[in-house]
Amino acid sequence: MLYKKNLAILKKRYPAYQEILENGTLDDGNITIVETKNGSKTALYQAEGDEYLLHSKYNPEKEAERLVAQLITDGVTAVVVLGFAMGYHLKELYNKVKDKGVKIFVVENNPALFREAIRYNDFTDLFDYQDFYLYLRDDYDSSGLINFIEGHIDIVFEELTLFKLSTAKRYFGQTLALIEKDLEFIIMKVKANKSTSKKRGRVWEENLLNNLYLMLKKPGVRELHGLYSGKPAIVVAAGPSLDKNMHLLKDVKDRAIIIAVDAVVKVLLKNDIVPDIVTVIDGFKSTLKYFDGLDYGRLDQTILLTIPQFYNHILKSWPGPLVFSPGYGVSEGIIHWIEKQRGFLGRLATGGSVAHLAFVLAYLLKADPIVFVGQDLAFTGDITHVKGSDYSLNLEDERKNSNKEYLKIKDIYGDEVWTRSDFHFYLQWFNRLILGIKNRGCQTEFVDATEGGARIEGTKVMTLKEVLNNYCQEKNDKKEEILIRLARYKAEWNPKIKEQFKLIIKNLKVIMEWAEQGLLFVDKLLDCANEKDYQKIVEKLKHINYNIDILKNHVMFFESEMYEIYTEINVDFRTDLEKYTKLVEFYNLLIKGSSKALKILGQHYQKITLKEGV
């Protein structure tokens, strides 16, 4: 029986779906299964006095073949399909991409219809495909879908495309628009991550390697969990409205914790406001201007929460406590290796903005309320940032020198205000996260005391003066408790840490040797005229690439710098010469990256040896 056969394979991966499908109350009276002209089955769906077929009444297989043929999958690593229906298009899609390792995500909001599909068609190959992912539920959960997809993709290097069954828009109903909006958000997020990684990946990974010893010693963000519970946190960004109320922040010392983004620290200090925590999330050269000329003498009690990819010379010279907060999706292999040596650092999920990091830190601290100040996410008064910030421009000058998109949105007063595409994305991230937190029953209050800018959904709009009067009257010593805890922190190292370093150094040297051999064989290929000898050399190159592929997961070097080339050498090129050029570029990058990594790791190894007194 097809149903039992399909279900047996499906429940290996998704045991919870068996309970959904075998629920005796699962029924949809709108569905009628009918036979097509070629003897297959299609579904007749009735809703609101209308009825329609979900697949062709003549030949659903041919229809699916035509639909899938129109889908461009070159360079695509994941296809998100809206609508399982009777599944003909999915069988065809599977046949098209199964040999390419493309991920297939299916979103279906009608379990009763899905049950009918697995009664009439054999999906065992599809369900057994290791890159098949099914999201099946009739009560749509926005956060659930986003987490499900993001949990199974490379959040940096994935190339997603959307494939919508044409009839899905009818039987999905109003839910379809919500799902499409969430999927577009994921695709936009991945594209933004990819763009950032391409521009900054090499710099980030070099910074991370330089910070390796610090990461072995210093605490991770998990150490801060719950340490400011029930007390107010003020998250200060560099929006233009900060000019209106920044002076009031002088009055919150020991009454609220001030978490400031890097871009606003110099402005705060000039106004005699010393933040309790500073957050940094971008390890690129443009960020260094926030630290040039900074009065470090006033920051000995200020915590710096940083990504591991920030500049080592800044982190080493920071006078106050240093805490690492790794992100998701970037250099995870290196970070996981570090954590094997010293323990889990913790993670804070952000949407890519330093203000996001400051906000989720406040939430991790269990602060209540969490107050936004200077978080315009728009060009209030046609100004980009607070006066005195290194990035402050008027909107006209900003648009002259930018290739970003601009749009109008509603501000906190209901009026229209200009914003930028990346600001708008950051706003959407805040809106979604706050909604998700509230839907989970969290009672934390979120207050927007920016006094201008975009309307952040889920926040109570107040003036900063009202916030201080309502929430910041009582003193507390929780900041001092945090400083004491961080001062006492001591990481426990893996007893075999030196052996682990030696193994990585050895593997890097072997990779360099393989890459040097690869260069020699590419030269031989170019001079080879004999087909038999040519094939022998090709096999040797495949062997070299296979060995490199195995070893590259056990070393630490500049993965992002060579990622695209590494993927390209495994596809067909227009000419052999182009392929050879890519191979040469790939091997040279391996040699260069491994050589640099060896030098940096050697320096860290010496520090560890001295630390242990060996």
Assess whether pLDDT exceeds 50 at residue 390: yes
Residue 202 included in any domain = no
Residue 200 included in any domain = no
Helical H runs in 85-135? Answer: 88-97, 111-120, 124-128
Residue that finishes a domain, picked among 455, 488, 521: 488
Rounded mean pLDDT, 359-366: 96
The set of residues, in sequence order, having a beta carbon less than 8 Å from that of 331 and lying 6+ positions away, is: 204, 205, 208, 308, 309, 559, 560
Residue 204 included in any domain = no
Do residue 178 and residue 303 come from a single domain? no
| Confidence at residue 571, expressed as pLDDT on a 0 to 100 scale | 44
Do residue 219 and residue 350 come from a single domain? yes
Do residue 458 and residue 528 come from a single domain? no
Do residue 151 and residue 169 come from a single domain? yes
Rounded mean pLDDT, 380-386: 76
Q: Give the count of domains, the chain.
A: 3
Sign of CA dihedral 320, 322, 327, 332: positive
Assess whether pLDDT exceeds 60 at residue 561: no
Residue that finishes a domain, picked among 488, 520, 540: 488
Assess whether pLDDT exceeds 90 at residue 277: yes
Distance CA 330, CA 334 (A): 9
Exposure letters 574-604 (e unless 16+ CB within 10 A, then b): eeeeebbebbbebbbbbbbbbebbbebbeeb
Residue 168 included in any domain = yes
Among 228, 231, 143, smallest CA distance to 445 is for 231
| Confidence at residue 234, expressed as pLDDT on a 0 to 100 scale | 98
Do residue 460 and residue 509 come from a single domain? no
**Mean pLDDT for the chain overall:** 86
Rounded mean pLDDT, 252-274: 95
* HSE value, Cβ hemisphere, 13 Å, CA-based, for 292: 7
Exposure letters 396-409 (e unless 16+ CB within 10 A, then b): eebbeeeeeeeeeb
Assess whether pLDDT exceeds 90 at residue 232: yes
499 sits in which H/E element: helix 497-527
Do residue 183 and residue 275 come from a single domain? no
Do residue 355 and residue 297 come from a single domain? yes
Distance CA 314, CA 327 (A): 19
* Residues 478 and 258: beta-carbon distance below 8 Å: no
Residue that finishes a domain, picked among 194, 221, 256: 194
Assess whether pLDDT exceeds 60 at residue 614: no
Do residue 155 and residue 271 come from a single domain? no
Backbone angles phi, psi at 416, to 5 degrees: -85, 145
Helical H runs in 14-160? Answer: 15-21, 60-69, 88-97, 111-120, 124-128, 142-150
Residue 178 included in any domain = yes
Do residue 512 and residue 473 come from a single domain? no
Q: What is the domain extent for residue 94?
A: 2-194
Assess whether pLDDT exceeds 60 at residue 569: no
Residue 199 included in any domain = no
